[in-house]
Structure 1
Amino acid sequence: MLPRPLIIDCDPGVDDAIAILLALASPAEFNLLGITTVAGNVPLALTTANARRICHLAQRGVPVYAGCPRPLLRSLITAEDIHGATGLQGAELPEPTLPLPVQHAVAFLIEQLTTASAPITLVTLGPLTNLAVALIQCPEIAQGIDRVVMMGGALGGGNITPAAEFNIYVDPHAAKVVVEAGLPLTMIGLDVTHQVVTTPERLRALESLGTPVGQAAAGMLRHYGQLDVERHGLAAPPLHDPCVIAYLLRPDLFTGRPMRLAVETEGSLCLGRTVANAYPTAAAPANARVIETVDAEGFYTLLTERLGKL
């Protein structure tokens, strides 16, 4: 089989960086056409620089396109308390040498999705601003999308508010546009990613790779997510975004089912909440596949094995 055409839309962020590395370590499965960045975990200038640094670390010349610097209707909220001031706390990464393209991320998405010879898979790891703007500007791009697999939302409680997960909360109006666009959508939310925690044993396995990538990944993860551990009573920091790449590589590690998904954009207490109905009806049919469980040990085995190839 030919590698799957893929675009990653992200806001690096430590877990975004690990997800990018996992994709870059899987050239037989993915033809990574480009990486688009959005403001989220840190401001746009940093998310763009971080994506470029990760590609440089992996010695892969994938172009990175800077996108939207703020949500559609709200002021930007960032997460330096989780990812550190630079977004990649714990790793000293070299400056990238590949020039930054002048084309905007939204223009890149529209161009790729309207000219592609085969449908493209979109991986979204941050706020959905770029994809929403692309859909608003050019609804025809939906025809060029094979599927959208998003890290975002939750069936239960949130991690930025009691009701909302960070990526959706930062730009709930963009999330609403994407969820209601009729796309083949898969949601991987906190209920899944909180099952995937970086225990000391799993961290040592990455360190033992003895490569620059392994050392950088372990360094970032050593400093990442301690606040989540305290807030949510987890055994170790969760690793959100790489679950999306792992799902595309090994869907057998995950279980889920079709649901009717909606995003709350009106209420102040529940702004950004993803509401998933596991019992769709003819009047409100399923519009997303919602993942519910993951084999965490299988996930970390896959991650460590693949990063060892970079």
Structure 2
Amino acid sequence: MTDSEGRRIPVIIDCDTGVDDALALLFAVRHPGLDLRAVTCVAGNTDVDGVVRNTLTVLERAGAPEIPVARGAARPLIEPARSARHVHGTDGMGDLGLPAPTRAPAEADAVTLLRREILASPSPVTLIPTAPLTNIALLLRTHPEVTRNIERIVFMGGAVACGNATPVAEFNVWHDPEAAAVLLTAGVPITMYGLDVFQRVVVPGARVRRLRESPDPGARLAGDLLSHRPASPGAGADPDAGGIGDAGAVCSVVDPAGLTTRPLPVEVSLAPGPTRGQTVVDRRPRPGEAEIHTGVRERALVDVALDVDVDRFVALYLDTVAGPRGPGAPAPDPR
């Protein structure tokens, strides 16, 4: 997909690489309709230095070492960092034994790089955070002028139904709830790609095995990463299947028709206790007594992902990462 004038869509990914963040980077680098302008790193799945290392390694394996990468926040705005190494391995990349990157990150910090790349883009940028939202909150509070050149923020985070970090809170939002609350008041269009769709896009085991046998390093890495996710939905019947996770948010930028969204009010629970980090999605058809008695009627709306065309996104992902692509290659057909 390109924009209305046939140009590649400028995107920036803010990530905590991470197995499925790596899958998202591989897709973004290889889809000919996307112009990945920068990648910024934040603590989340592993510590921020590990995230930087993993990100640089993935870009090199994908054949895109020139994309600028910057180190960002080492901890949430208020709380200490809490990793997800029990899911992503001690190195954050499934303990695949990948080589160290051959280059260093940019000298600029993540917020500086985000501001620079957003304002320098000739057309509005789509910002895709697939991580805790600390860098994004710092950017929006420090440099609010960037919003004039942001087309949309598509973030992987939150949940309408069940959480994973807690019964009601998804990891990225739970890791830094205050940052997520800042994002939701950014004043730009926002899409929430939450657990409700995140957990459903699963690549069949046969296709995972085929990727792992590819002679192309990037495609082979995608297969190895997918094989690290045996707990994905559907794995009971197909133990080699793997979920694309965060990559689905990037797929939705390329092919928004594959996602069913609804504009709904969303708030983040910030109070201590069992609901901290919950994304409270208001699906009621009309305001209730709480809004009537407080006089609060108008609330900012978020395009909340409620359903996804699984086969469409799986095909789009596989067609894109199966081999090297460039700006001149034909875009995969998402249908």
**Residue 208 (structure 1) shift:** 4.7
Identity of aligned residues (%): 34
Secondary structure class of the residue paired with 2:271: coil
**Residue 216 (structure 1) shift:** 1.6
Q: Residue 191 of structure 2 contacts residue 305 of structure 2 at CA under 8 Å; is this kept in 1?
A: yes
Where in structure 1 are there 5+ consecutive unaligned residues?
Answer: none
> What is the total number of aligned residue pairs between the two structures?
307
Q: Residue 92 of structure 1 contacts residue 216 of structure 1 at CA under 8 Å; is this kept in 2?
A: no
**Residue 51 (structure 1) shift:** 0.5
Cα-to-partner distance string for 1:245-298 (whole Å, 9 max, x where unaligned): 110111121111111111111141100000111347692345210111111122
Cα-to-partner distance string for 1:212-262 (whole Å, 9 max, x where unaligned): 222222222222353x669x9897553320011110111121111111111
TM-score scaled by length of structure 2: 0.86
Match of 2:321 among 300, 307, 310: 307
Residue 212 of structure 1 corresponds to 217
Matches within 5 A, 1:94-109: 94-109=99-114
| 2:141 pairs with 1:136 | yes
Secondary structure class of the residue paired with 2:226: helix
Secondary structure class of the residue paired with 1:160: coil
Residue 269 of structure 2 corresponds to 264
Secondary structure class of the residue paired with 1:173: helix
Q: 1:141 to 1:233 in 2, by over 3 A?
A: farther
Distance in 2 between residues matched to 1:257 and 1:200, nearest whole Å? 32
Distance in 1 between residues matched to 2:214 and 2:148, nearest whole Å? 41
Residue 39 of structure 1 corresponds to 43
Distance in 2 between residues matched to 1:32 and 1:156, nearest whole Å? 32
Matches within 5 A, 1:101-120: 101-120=106-125
| 2:27 pairs with 1:22 | yes
Cα-to-partner distance string for 1:140-168 (whole Å, 9 max, x where unaligned): 22112110000000000100100100000
Amino acid at match of 2:41: T
**Residue 11 (structure 1) shift:** 0.3
Q: Residue 39 of structure 1 contacts residue 127 of structure 1 at CA under 8 Å; is this kept in 2?
A: yes
Q: Residue 194 of structure 1 contacts residue 234 of structure 1 at CA under 8 Å; is this kept in 2?
A: no
Distance in 2 between residues matched to 1:101 and 1:303, nearest whole Å? 29
**Residue 46 (structure 1) shift:** 0.6
Match of 1:183 among 175, 188, 207: 188
Match of 1:145 among 133, 150, 163: 150
**Residue 177 (structure 1) shift:** 0.5
Residue 253 of structure 2 corresponds to 248
Q: Residue 57 of structure 1 contacts residue 94 of structure 1 at CA under 8 Å; is this kept in 2?
A: no
- When Rg is computed on C-alpha atoms for both structures, the one with the higher figure is 2
Residue 294 of structure 1 corresponds to 308
TM-score scaled by length of structure 1: 0.92
Q: Residue 264 of structure 2 contacts residue 301 of structure 2 at CA under 8 Å; is this kept in 1?
A: yes
RMSD, aligned CA: 2.1
Q: 1:123 to 1:50 in 2, by over 3 A?
A: same
**Residue 206 (structure 1) shift:** 2.4
Distance in 2 between residues matched to 1:82 and 1:229, nearest whole Å? 15
Q: 1:280 to 1:132 in 2, by over 3 A?
A: farther
Q: Residue 65 of structure 1 contacts residue 104 of structure 1 at CA under 8 Å; is this kept in 2?
A: yes
Secondary structure class of the residue paired with 2:243: coil
| 2:208 pairs with 1:194 | no
Q: Residue 219 of structure 2 contacts residue 323 of structure 2 at CA under 8 Å; is this kept in 1?
A: no
Where in structure 2 are there 5+ consecutive unaligned residues?
Answer: 1-5, 288-295, 325-335
Cα-to-partner distance string for 1:54-84 (whole Å, 9 max, x where unaligned): 0100111211111000000001111011100
Distance in 2 between residues matched to 1:116 and 1:218, nearest whole Å? 33
